Amino acid sequence: MKKEKLVVIGNGMAGARLVEELLARGGAAHFDIVMFGDEPYGNYNRILLSGVLAGTHDPRDIFINPLSWYQEKGVTLHAGVRVERIDGRQKLVHGAGGITEHYDKLVIATGSSAFVPPLVGLKNESGQYKEGVFVFRTLDDCTAITQHAAKAKKAVVIGGGLLGLEAARGLLELGLEVHVVHLKGHLMELQLDAKGGAILQRTLEGMGLHVHLKKNSRELLGHERVNGLLFDDGSSLACDLVVISAGIRPNVELAREAGIHVERGIVVGDDLRAPNEQDIYALGECAQHRGRVYGLVAPLWEQAQVLAERLSGRNPQALYTGSQVSTKLKVMGIELAVMGAQEVTGEQDEEVTYMDATQGIYKKLIIRDQRLVGAILLGDTSSAPNLLSAFGRGTQVPESRSELLFPSMGEASTPSVLQLPDTAQVCNCNGVSKQNILEAVSKGHRTLKKLCDATRAGTGCGSCKKDVQALLENAVGDNSVEDPSAHYYVPGVPLAKAELVAEIKARGLRSVSAVFEALADGREDVASKTGLASLLKTLWGKDYEDERDARFINDRVHANIQRDATFSVIPRIFGGVTSPAQLRQIADVAERHNVKMVKITGGQRIDLLGIPKEKLPEVWRELGMPSGHGYAKSFRTCKTCVGSEFCRYGLGDSTALGIAIEKRFQGLESPHKMKLATAGCPRNCSEATTKDVGAVAIGGDRWEIYVGGAAGSRVRKGDILCVVDSHEDVLKLMGRFMQYYREHGKYLERTHDFVERVGIDKLRRLLVEDEEKLAARLDADIQAAVDAFVDPWEEAMRPHHPSQFTHTLPMESEASGSVARPVTAEA
């Protein structure tokens, strides 16, 4: 297939990021890529320009991709070549110096430039800016300001927004007297409310900055070189350096002249395409999407990902639906994190604020329907990771608002990973230190997945992943690259769960190898096998083509491997209720096999530990009990309390209910294990409120059903899904929830993460109120899964393979007649 030519106008953060994302998705196979860059450099991180001005960053440090990168990647870059015209009819881009490129697809990423208000006396007689007058936008601007600052004493920055204050910081560092003049009533009005702006101003003034609010600049004084600034109110300010930082304007002239629809920015749809142009796309600060032009980096990253998904053909239907704006930044060294709404919008909104002006700390949260819709954190952003996560995922916030404002007051009383010393161990499963992780980041592992793969952090129980993420974000800021595979159900098949399920059903793929063949170019991926096996079993039930090599060892031999390569055997004891005869049977087997340890488990069962693999079938046969599934990603057990039959407090028959639950759902496959419990009264002796699914009797035959509880590496009280009034309804609603989780949970996503991700309100609407009429279908599907259950321990009688339970195949095996013997011996 002949490759198409993709031309990208703009080599800034948007254009270059798009190309990076495209290459990461194999885009080089589809396109010859040509880029035009106005500046004669590779691609640099514009956000760090203030650091260059302040002298804290060397210009070399802020390059993301040097010129050699383009060469290595086979990308043609016309560096320092300004594009003069787009010819949409002939599909040509004309650059300065007669450089013309034909395109099949065109991406406009021209970004924005500094807005310069119409000031009197801005330019000298030859039409140049007066000496000492600058804008602050490019590396060249930065160099020019630094050079001039060496001979200047008093600087004025016009504009008290983020960029203006950053410029002011740089100038202060250079030893100048610095004044900021701002048109509005408080600093950084785009990010901060009036109170926040006032606190920021106080802190900045403490650092030696002079701030002048509500000042409209009218005229730059001086002949050839600037010597002062005159305001509308008649006052003036002497100075010998002026930096104009009054906002940015999208660069849309090229597009407008080419007849592309332009409003404030180049108008694009959710496909990031200009609506009337077949092959022209725009992204970044020059693009206007759903009426918004974004000036922050995170939305731009998201746009680059969506466009790369479309252009690479990886997901031609990918859509960009807008960004929730959140950002973490430093203003003159002061931490600031802002997200979402700045002010309450109605009576339903709740505002929570904390202010400590002497410390320069201001925190404000806006909460709507128990969800965080906006926040400002100034001077102390220690709670930003939690808040960003709550904001981004739309999860419910804790009742105690102070936990949100002060992370150390809540569940996470341990210090933030960012505050730990470098030697601190972050991943306790694999012994990975903070230092190991930071070193891996500096070696270029800039996605969570790559970082985890490189260090092994987060690859054990996974509970430290959010810490690893926090370290990554802190180390690289918004420069972390999201790995496209983060959304895949399994890493080796480039599809999210819903899409994968659709493909599997449409193509009738019933085995793991068939999925690799059809959906992964035949590439078998070891990390994807167990996840696919679990999904296929859930989808096809008894029609699933079982390939045992896709199972983890535990699921091949139906027992849990131990550190010495022996196994644990846990027979099922329904609801934890046993009998003397059963106990005697277990005791006999344990004695006969010299079981190393007999252990009562947390799930009210009896564990026989240290059984060699080849003894498993014999032990199962002698026990004569079904598998307790102490090994599988499936329904595990239902813990019970004594309940109403004996307990003097019991309100409901929790033992009978627990036995019924366990009989019904035993062995049911799911994205991760499910541990259940029933409690006969709210005293909760069986800990039902911290189980994946739990039922608590509240009297009058009524039961509360809890979902998403956890008491493992994370502790979370479950959410009440509903209250029902019979055992039958408990079974029905639990089954409905489990089936929905089976269908929509990510592989290895426990219910506590799943419930938070989906939201308990939505689950109630879907599963209890049946808003989308799913319930009958879910009920039928869980019934089919229940009916398809076969006790895996029946393989004690009918092994799947003659060597299924062999630990070591002998050199001589009389049974098979094959003898291991030297065939040849050669020198």
Partner 1 sequence: MQYEQAQSMSVVYNLGLATRVPLGEGRTFTVGERTVAVFRTRSGALLATQAECPHQRGPLADGLLGGNVLVCPLHGYKFDIKTGLAVGHACGSLKTYTVELSDREEILLRVEDS
Which amino acid, residue 722? C
- The reply on whether position 549 binds partner 1 by CB under 8 A is yes
679: enclosing H helix or E strand: strand 674-679
Annotated binding site for siroheme: 685
In the complex with partner 1, the residue whose CB is nearer, 80 or 460, is 460
Give yes or no for a contact between 558 and 616, defined as CB atoms under 8 angstroms apart. Answer: yes
- The reply on whether position 648 binds partner 1 by CB under 8 A is no
Of the candidates 1, 526, 790, 797, which one interacts with partner 1 according to CB under 8 A? 526
Find where tokens 């109630």 sit. 764
Tell me which residues in 417-446 interact with partner 1 (CB under 8 A). 430
Choose the stretch contacting partner 1; rule: CB under 8 A; options: 22-30, 102-110, 247-255, 544-552. 544-552
CB of 561 to partner 1, least distance (A): 6
For 139, half-sphere exposure in the C-beta direction (CA atoms, 13 angstrom radius) is 19
**Torsion angle, CA of 483/484/490/492, rounded to 10 degrees?**
-90
In the complex with partner 1, the residue whose CB is nearer, 423 or 808, is 808
Tell me which residues in 775-814 interact with partner 1 (CB under 8 A). 801-804, 806-811, 813
Annotated binding site: 641, 647, 681, 685
Choose the stretch contacting partner 1; rule: CB under 8 A; options: 122-130, 339-347, 381-389, 541-549. 541-549
Rounded to whole angstroms, the Cα distance separating 633 from 211 reads 61
- The reply on whether position 547 binds partner 1 by CB under 8 A is yes
- The reply on whether position 482 binds partner 1 by CB under 8 A is no
Token representation of residue 716 = 């979370």
Of the candidates 418, 454, 642, 768, which one interacts with partner 1 according to CB under 8 A? 454
Rounded to whole angstroms, the Cα distance separating 665 from 635 reads 6
Measured from the Cβ of residue 319, the count of other Cβ atoms closer than 10 Å reads: 13
Contacts of 355 (CB under 8 A, 6+ apart): 195, 199, 361, 362, 363
Tell me which residues in 44-63 interact with partner 1 (CB under 8 A). none
- The reply on whether position 527 binds partner 1 by CB under 8 A is yes
In the complex with partner 1, the residue whose CB is nearer, 150 or 825, is 825
- The reply on whether position 529 binds partner 1 by CB under 8 A is yes
In the complex with partner 1, the residue whose CB is nearer, 276 or 803, is 803
Rounded to whole angstroms, the Cα distance separating 306 from 11 reads 18
Of the candidates 553, 587, 597, 600, which one interacts with partner 1 according to CB under 8 A? 553
CA distances to 292, 433, 446, 582 from 438, in Å: 36, 9, 10, 54
- The reply on whether position 521 binds partner 1 by CB under 8 A is no
Give yes or no for a contact between 270 and 256, defined as CB atoms under 8 angstroms apart. Answer: no
What is the SS3 assignment for 693? strand
Of the candidates 25, 91, 434, 556, which one interacts with partner 1 according to CB under 8 A? 556
Tell me which residues in 492-511 interact with partner 1 (CB under 8 A). 492
- Give alpha helix (H) positions in 25-136: 49-54, 67-72
Rounded to whole angstroms, the Cα distance separating 444 from 451 reads 9
What is the SS3 assignment for 88? coil
In the complex with partner 1, the residue whose CB is nearer, 103 or 544, is 544
In the complex with partner 1, the residue whose CB is nearer, 507 or 801, is 801
Give yes or no for a contact between 132 and 124, defined as CB atoms under 8 angstroms apart. Answer: no
In the complex with partner 1, the residue whose CB is nearer, 91 or 434, is 434
- The reply on whether position 524 binds partner 1 by CB under 8 A is yes
In the complex with partner 1, the residue whose CB is nearer, 85 or 523, is 523
Measured from the Cβ of residue 682, the count of other Cβ atoms closer than 10 Å reads: 14
In the complex with partner 1, the residue whose CB is nearer, 246 or 490, is 490
With contacts defined by CB under 8 A, how many residues of the chain interact with partner 1? 49
Annotated binding site for [4Fe-4S] cluster: 641, 647, 681, 685
Rounded to whole angstroms, the Cα distance separating 327 from 477 reads 10
Residues forming contacts to partner 1 in the complex (CB under 8 A) are: 430, 453-454, 456, 459-460, 492, 513, 523-530, 547-550, 552-553, 556, 561, 563, 565, 801-804, 806-811, 813, 816-827
